[in-house]
Structure 1
């Protein structure tokens, strides 16, 4: 049994990709534009730009903070490497904030302490597992107006904020989403950045296309009256982070089913929750109904024994994540003991199978094995 298994609307996706391949234009073009418009309508984001990954979105977002080199940026240690790699890419310093034990998002109390100690002017906040924590809401309500927030929404496609609005809709943050193959909206790999102003949107487009101020489709699909449309300028170096129409064609199909699929994930979570009720050795990481339910994580004291028991029965668990300060590249930025909760739970967390092809008997089987092996 796989930990993750993407579910595609295969016939629709194949037909959409066929049309792109037959069109003669597979790069950044009309399918990307269509997805950007559809995603903005779905999330109520002011502007969206389709990219080749969430990593690209995070890097662009950090660049557009325009901070002096070496600036402190508050972040979580419990995330995929991409989050904090984006900070190092721009020569900044990650300041690791501890997580809260309920949903493994950042702790607002530790956030306040680290913000004051480090004089940080910005933060990267991960919506762990697809859940928008109330800790995030507390942070937004208390932050200074000039304090910049980047939301890492890699797990949170289709999720809601506590006030009922879609994740990605806020005008006071920059949001970065992933459409990698195992995410809630799967392509093969792509992402999107959501922005609140036209100026930021135009700059993000340039940064995603090597700093060039016109994409290739725009330069080659113009009227006869636009003789010099082929001409472009580069005022700031960027990267080759642009999306393409093959991935966007798949994304356009899958977006239509995102709410339906997230509802299935909510039902899966409720099945796990019911099975684990009253099992004191097992702590289920919390999700609200507004969550995208990308990860299903438990905590047990004998993590390695439970993983071994699951693998012995052909079930593939996971660990999300190894704390980033354990990696040599991030170790210089961490002092042992400064994130005690992260240090404690990092040896306890297990991700259990969570995908749309699970049936109730699969969940019951996983839970039975966990209950019998957990101590």
Structure 2
């Protein structure tokens, strides 16, 4: 059997039972299960607010839109972000006619606080921090910088479901204005696709719920009485989009959430196996993680000189690695900052994502590591 880089594992029978309830009640859209999952996510993480969406991407778009709208930011203002991320992180900035100003990454492939502070100017309004691979990086220092310069802070926690620091969910730390999670198909808490936006302030959560339902100030579920009576009157306060999640995806998420800590613990076991097997190979640089015992380890990455050659060698043995991510300043629309983040550019040429998922055995990891070590000798 081929070994994939990422492969979700679902608790199928339990998921089907949750979905069955939606179908039998005739409620598959917004409400019912989405509300239940929001409450369970708040309980699990400690977030004060949680609004279930159809993806992490729309959550990031919404986060920038609301902060811009509510804080009087202008077109052309800047948000500092990372070049090592999925493109939706930086599209969220561009979508609002703002400028992504790129700062370099540190040894954890998260934003380097020193370079972030260098990139701040009189147009800087916020920072987007990506918890790459589930790592918290130097998020505490980024929070300090944002406080010092009166900047808003958005945490792109697409990889961070289940990550903790001393038992606390980083997204709930003081100084973070909004955290956005992903439950996309291959994430640690997989659904077909969905996400969650968690604002620290109640007023932003209220706006998010209206924007995510076309600007309507009362969603369908809120307008349905206890006896099923449908109250049709509402007002429209914004030009919004249809960004909310649905009860089918939330049903899956409710099941997957029950196993998230157990699943992440197994990911950490596999990561420790990789660490041990690569420890004595000087030609491999493992991307480290602070608080390794509480990291979600969405992905496990190494850096090698001949990345493409290694990927071909693994593929010849039915092992399929991946690359997360290409330096975003190599894309034409963000090329204005090309060359400003030398570490990120170097990493982008060398990084490779090893298979890491719940279907892998430790024997699989040993086989993969053996081939990697053999190739890099």
Q: Return the match for 1:95 from 101, 115, 118.
A: 101
Deviation at 1:141, TM superposition (A): 2.5
Q: What is the correspondence of 1:1-375 to structure 2 with a 5 Å cutoff?
A: 1-66=3-68, 67-100=73-106, 102-115=107-120, 117=121, 119-133=123-137, 135-144=138-147, 146-161=150-165, 163-173=166-176, 174-221=178-225, 229-287=231-289, 288-331=292-335, 333-334=336-337, 336-374=338-376
On the 8 A contact 1:45/1:170 being kept in 2, the answer is: no
Instruction: Please provide the CA RMSD for this pair.
Output: 1.5
Deviation (angstroms), 1:121: 1.8
1:21-63 deviation line (CA, Å, top 9, x unaligned): 1111110011000000000011000010000000011011001
Query: Tell me, which stretches of 5 or more residues in structure 1 are unaligned?
Result: none
User: How far apart are 1:357 and its partner, in Å?
Assistant: 0.9
CA distance in 2, matches of 1:186, 1:91: 31
Alpha-carbon deviations, 1:178-222, whole Å to 9, x = none?
Answer: 000100000110000111222111111011111111111222335
Moved more, 50-59 or 119-128: 119-128
Give the drift of 1:233.
Answer: 1.2
Aligned partners of 1:60, 1:119: CA distance in 2, in Å?
A: 21
Cα deviations by residue, 1:99-139 (Å, 9 ceiling, x for unpaired): 01x21111111011011x46412011100000001x21112
Asked if the contact 2:77–2:123 (Cα under 8 Å) also holds between the matched residues in 1, the reply is: no
CA offsets, 1:65-87, max 9 Å, x none? 12211110000000001101111
- Structure 2 unaligned spans of 5+: none
Equivalenced residue count is 367
Conservation of the 8 A alpha-carbon contact between 1:171 and 1:195: no
Once residues 341 and 85 of structure 1 are traced to their aligned partners in structure 2, the CA distance between those partners, rounded to angstroms, is 22
The question of whether the paired residues in 1 share the 8 Å contact of 2:181 and 2:196 is answered with: yes
**Separation (CA, whole Å) in 2 of partners of 1:367 and 1:308:** 15
Distance 2:123 2:212 in 1: 30
Query: TM-score, length-normalised on structure 2?
Result: 0.94
CA distance in 2, matches of 1:278, 1:159: 28
> Residues 118 and 340 (structure 1 numbering): CA distance in 2 closer, same or farther, change over 3 Å?
farther
Distance (whole Å) between structure 1 residues aligned to residue 145 and residue 30 of structure 2: 40
Q: Please report how far the alpha carbon of residue 244 of structure 1 lies from its aligned counterpart in structure 2 after TM superposition.
A: 0.2
- CA distances 1:234-277 after superposition (whole Å, capped 9, x unpaired): 12111110100000000011101100000001101000000001
Conserved in 1, the CA contact under 8 Å of 2:55 and 2:193?
yes
Counterparts of 1:69 and 1:314, CA distance in 2: 48
